[in-house]
Amino acid sequence: MTNARAGRLYVVATPIGNLGDLSVRARDTLQASNLIAAEDTRHTGALLKHFGIQTPLVSLHEHNELERAPELVSRMQNGAAISLVSDAGTPGISDPGFDLVRAAAAAGLDIIAIPGPCAALAALSIAGLPTDRFCFEGFLPARRAARRTRLTELAPEPRTLVFYESPHRVREMLEDCALGLGSARPAAVAREITKLHETLYRGSLSQLAARAAAEADFARGEIVVVAAGAAPDEDTGGGADGHGGALDRVLKPLLAELPLKQAAHLAAQIAAVGGNEAYKRALQLKQAYGAP
């Protein structure tokens, strides 16, 4: 049972670019709180100054959240109302906040959402791809081998996929998406949502990868990638013969462990395809992925 004397934790969404997106309710909550736990106190301090809010700040980021959470929970148990914010968007969505929310829940404290901006949902809403069911993957692994492995796992996923990506990795990420999910898979890339240079790119994954390689502006600012889910009959491996998805799922782990010819020979037997077909696709994958 929640302690009636205890304070509360407010999970407050803040603008992802346009300050006009801070809701009146969020502004009032930040003003009325005893303390604001912020990912970056300097960043949030500028936001508070803009709106004339003087509530004290304390840092809560990925490096100190586990240590700071018990202290904040104790303060709430003693009656403090604390607002949790990240640098932009909704706390806990690829941002700090989960550990504090979990600790507050375990302590029986009231936790109240003050909803607002979220880059993933904003991009999904304008991408022109199915929105009835979707899968938020956040950031893919930074290391290319791990990223490709994860994309291979996601290839059969029928729901729309939503990713965050850093500007300096977006070209490689889109190239890997084209190879792992299928080069013809429809997708969209949203850049700088709600900001002055907001741009939405649409096309197939291979087309978007080509634009990322050719256009300098493509890799600037905050980026969300939205990709269609796999169609029931989709060749997720990118082959033209209808066997590519199954063949790729066999070939990729084999190529990581075996020489090309041996991997192709075994894959042909497992996937029940011709030896030449398996060898040709293995060569394509090796050229695209590089040596294991």
pLDDT score for 241:
42
Q: What is the pLDDT of residues 199-225, one digit of tens each?
A: 999 999 999 999 999 999 999 999 999
CA-based nearest residue to 7, from 40, 38, 29, 39: 29
> Is pLDDT above 60 for 239?
no
> Is pLDDT above 90 for 11?
yes
| Range of lowest pLDDT (1-10, 174-183, 276-285) | 1-10
Q: 239 or 26: whose pLDDT is higher? A: 26
Name the strand (E) or helix (H) holding 254: helix 244-257
> Is pLDDT above 80 for 232?
no
For the segment 81-99, the average pLDDT, to the nearest whole number, is 97
Helix (H, G, I), strand (E, B) or coil at 84: strand
pLDDT score for 286:
76
Q: What is the pLDDT of residues 245-281, one digit of tens each?
A: 678 778 888 888 888 999 899 888 887 888 888 888 8
pLDDT score for 142:
95
Q: 192 or 254: whose pLDDT is higher? A: 192
> Is pLDDT above 80 for 108?
yes
For the segment 85-113, the average pLDDT, to the nearest whole number, is 97
Instruction: Go through 16-38 and write b for each residue having 16 or more CB atoms within 10 A of its CB, e for each that does not.
Output: bbeeebbbeebbebbeebebbbb
pLDDT score for 283:
86
pLDDT score for 244:
53
Q: What is the pLDDT of residues 13-72, one digit of tens each?
A: 999 999 999 999 999 999 999 999 999 999 999 999 999 999 999 999 999 999 999 999
Q: What is the pLDDT of residues 128-161, one digit of tens each?
A: 999 999 999 999 999 998 999 899 889 989 999 9
Contact 23, 114 (CB under 8 A): yes
CA distances from 195 to 6, 123, 219, 221 (A): 39, 13, 15, 9
pLDDT score for 233:
58
Residue 170 pLDDT class (50, 70, 90 cuts):
very high
Residue 5 pLDDT class (50, 70, 90 cuts):
low
pLDDT score for 253:
80
Residue 4 pLDDT class (50, 70, 90 cuts):
very low
Q: Where are the beta strands (DSSP E) in the chain?
A: 8-12, 35-38, 57-59, 82-85, 110-114, 134-139, 160-165, 186-191, 199-204, 223-227
pLDDT score for 60:
98
Contact 129, 188 (CB under 8 A): yes
> Is pLDDT above 60 for 87?
yes
